[in-house]
Amino acid sequence: MSDHYDTIGIHYDELRVPDPRIATQIFDALGSARRVVNIGAGTGSYEPVDRDVIAVEPSRLMIEKRHNEAAPVVQASAEALPFDNKAFDAAMAVLTVHHWQDPAAGFAEMRRVTRGPIVVLTYDPDARPWLVDYLPELAALDEAQMPALDRFEDWLGGISIEPIPIPDDCTDGFLHAYWRRPEAYLDARIRSGISSFWALDNLADGLTQLRRDLDTGAWAQRYASLLQTRRYDAGYRLIVADGR
């Protein structure tokens, strides 16, 4: 994953600004944990500032883009955490598991170094938000790289699964953050902060159709119900495993 994000992480610090409403759900799931490890931490999104956080990130570029107030960071992978057993009260991993080389090994390591809850923000590969209508390759990509939700129970034991509804003005520019701002997907700079777009071979046809539908009003007509809501379930899920 390090080399991958050394390429695609160019604008992550600018485009992937943590959304406070999503942050609240993550922080609540961490409970009373004081010492937290953040796996696949990237530029530091969703790291709680009122706790003792250690970040783990394999990409040197992403580490360099962390702001001065971010948590201390160790360059390492999820599959080989350089910490003692039960060193942390809780562990977190935000939109990163699909980039791990070996999720089973990564979660075994998270469990080894954590005495309390493990909190994972991920995506349900069975979800089909409207963007898939224009870029059907996204469905195949999700099925190939996103772990099915039932795998998390295999890896972590008993879990709870909570939906993460995405606000219409979400500040974090992940794939489906712009569900009510479809014109954003036509902006190459915004797409540069979304790893899925780097993985698709053909964007031109789908984006051309999206532009045409926005110009003619067909998009607004087809998805009129979305324009009546402020939050959208696009398939993001919070996995919480209790400590053991």
How far apart, in whole angstroms, are the C-alpha atoms of residue 235 and residue 15?
Answer: 20
3-state helix, strand, coil in the chain (%, to 5): 40, 15, 40
Query: Residue 117 sits in which domain range?
Result: 2-241
Q: What integer pLDDT is reported at residue 7 of this predicted model?
A: 47
- Bridge-based pairing of strands 159-163 and 231-232 is unpaired
- pLDDT tens-digit map of 202-239: 899 999 999 999 999 999 999 999 999 999 999 999 99
Q: The domain that contains 50 carries what CATH number?
A: 3.40.50.150
pTM score of the predicted model: 0.90
How far apart, in whole angstroms, are the C-alpha atoms of residue 30 and residue 165?
Answer: 18
- pLDDT tens-digit map of 167-211: 999 999 999 999 999 999 999 999 988 888 988 988 999 999 999
What is the four-CA torsion angle of 153, 159, 165, 170, rounded to 10 degrees?
A: -80
Q: Do residues 220 and 227 make contact, with C-beta atoms less than 8 angstroms apart?
A: yes
How far apart, in whole angstroms, are the C-alpha atoms of residue 79 and residue 162?
Answer: 25
Per the structure, the count of domains in the chain is: 1
